[in-house]
Amino acid sequence: MIPAESLVVRDGRQTRIPAADLVAGDIVQVNLGNKCPADIRIISCSGDLKFDRSVLTGESEPVAATTGKTDPNFMESRNIGMQGTHVVSGSGVGVVIQTGDNTVFGRIAKLSAGGNGGLTTLQKEILHFVVIIATIALSIAILVVVLWAAWLRRSYPGYLSTTQLLINAISVLVAVIPEGLPVSVTLSLTVIAKAMGKSKVLCKSLTTVETLGAVNVLCSDKTGTLTQNKMYVQNAAILDDEYSTSQARAAMIKDNAAREVLQQLHVVAGLCNAAQFDATTLMLPVSERKINGDATDTAILRFAEELDPVMDLTANWRMVFDLPFNSKNKYMVSPQRSLLYQIRMYKVASRTEDVKYIRTALGSCGNDFDNEDILLLKKGAPDLLLPACSAVLSSSGVIPLDDETHARVIRLQEAWASRGQRVLLLARKIIKANSRDIPEHMGFDHALFGETVMDIAMSGLTIIGMVGIVVFYPLLSL
Listed in sequence order, the residues at least 6 apart from 97 whose beta carbon sits closer than 8 Å to its beta carbon are: 24, 38, 39, 40, 41
Q: To 5 degrees, how large is the angle CA 466–CA 472–CA 475?
A: 165
Q: Are strands 86-89 and 80-81 parallel, antiparallel or unpaired?
A: unpaired
Tell me which long-range contacts 434-437 makes (C-beta under 8 A, separation of at least 24): none
> Among residues 472, 453, 416, which one has the least CA distance to residue 332?
453
Q: 48, 71, 101, 221: which is the annotated catalytic residue?
A: 221
Q: How far is CA 342 from CA 159, 401, 428, in A?
A: 114, 34, 21
Based on the residue annotation, tell me whether 221 is a catalytic residue of this protein.
yes
Residues 6+ apart with CB under 8 A from 257: 395
3-state SS track over the chain: CCCCEEEEEECCEEEEEEHHHCCCCCEEEECCCCECCCEEEEEEECCCCEEECHHHHCCCCCEECCCCCCCCCCCCCCCEECCCCEEEECCEEEEEEECHHHCHHHHHHHHHCCCCCCCCHHHHHHHHHHHHHHHHHHHHHHHHHHHHHHHHHHHCCCCCCHHHHHHHHHHHHHHHCCCCHHHHHHHHHHHHHHHHHHCCEECCCHHHHHHHHCCCCCCCCCCCCCCCCCEEEEEEEECCEEEEHHHHHHHHHHCHHHHHHHHHHHHHHHHCCCCEECHHHCCCCHHHCCEECCHHHHHHHHHHHHHCCHHHHHHHEEECCCECCCCCCCEEEEEEEEHHHHHHHCCCCCCHHHHHHHHHHHHHHHHHCCCCCEEEEEEECHHHHHHHEEEEEECCEEEECCHHHHHHHHHHHHHHHHCCCEEEEEEEEEECCCCCCCCCCCCCCCHHHHHHHHHHCCCCEEEEEEEEEEECCCCEEC
Q: Which residues pair with 358 in a beta bridge?
A: none
**Which residue, among 53, 54, 80, has the nearest Cα to 67 in the 3D structure?**
80
Catalytic residues: 221
